Amino acid sequence: MRDEILDNIRQSLAAITVPRFYETERGFQGELLVQLRQRAVLPDQIIIEQEHQKVARTHGLVCRPDIIVHEPFDEGQHHDRAQGNYGVIELKRRAGTRKAQEDFDSIANMIRVLRYPLGVFINIDASKTHAKLIPEDLRTRISSFAVALRGGAVQIFEA
């Protein structure tokens, strides 16, 4: 599933060619969701959802990931809320070190507490992935992208 999600992300990033979407994080997120859904080859029970609030009492942490790939929790099907989680995506536009670190910390918490097997950071309208900030123990589980539109061509950087 990891490779399929990452391939979907790469293809979706490459398809975002409208300059307007690179102007705001929210605009880019909306178009990324459209592109991800168009390319998704996932089992029927798995969905791609935006900004699903995690609540401490229910999930064991408080955060609002930008995009999650998961099976919505069903008591009859899942043992706990960590089961059925596949990927979590955090987005930042032109993230500097501090903002990127905050997102990597958030991704790390979701991986550790909710057992997401994959975390992804995407730096919008930038060329820096900030991969050096990924916690050492999670380097095999977190991927980092930067994406920019330059002269009408999408440039994707990946670490």
Higher pLDDT, residue 42 or 104: 104
Per-domain residue ranges for the chain?
2-158
Containing 27, the helix (H) or strand (E) segment is: helix 25-39
Residue 77, pLDDT above cutoff 50: yes
120, 91 contact by CB (below 8 A): no
**pLDDT given for residue 56 in this prediction:** 46
What fold, for 2-158?
Answer: Restriction Endonuclease (3.40.91)
Local confidence band at 60 (pLDDT 50, 70, 90 cut-offs): low
Rg (CA), the chain: 15
Residue 108, pLDDT above cutoff 70: yes
157 class by beta-carbon count within 10 Å (0-12 exposed, 13-18 middle, 19+ buried): middle
Q: CB-based contacts of 10: which residues, under 8 Å, 6+ apart?
A: 156, 158
pTM, 2 dp: 0.90
Residue 98, pLDDT above cutoff 90: yes
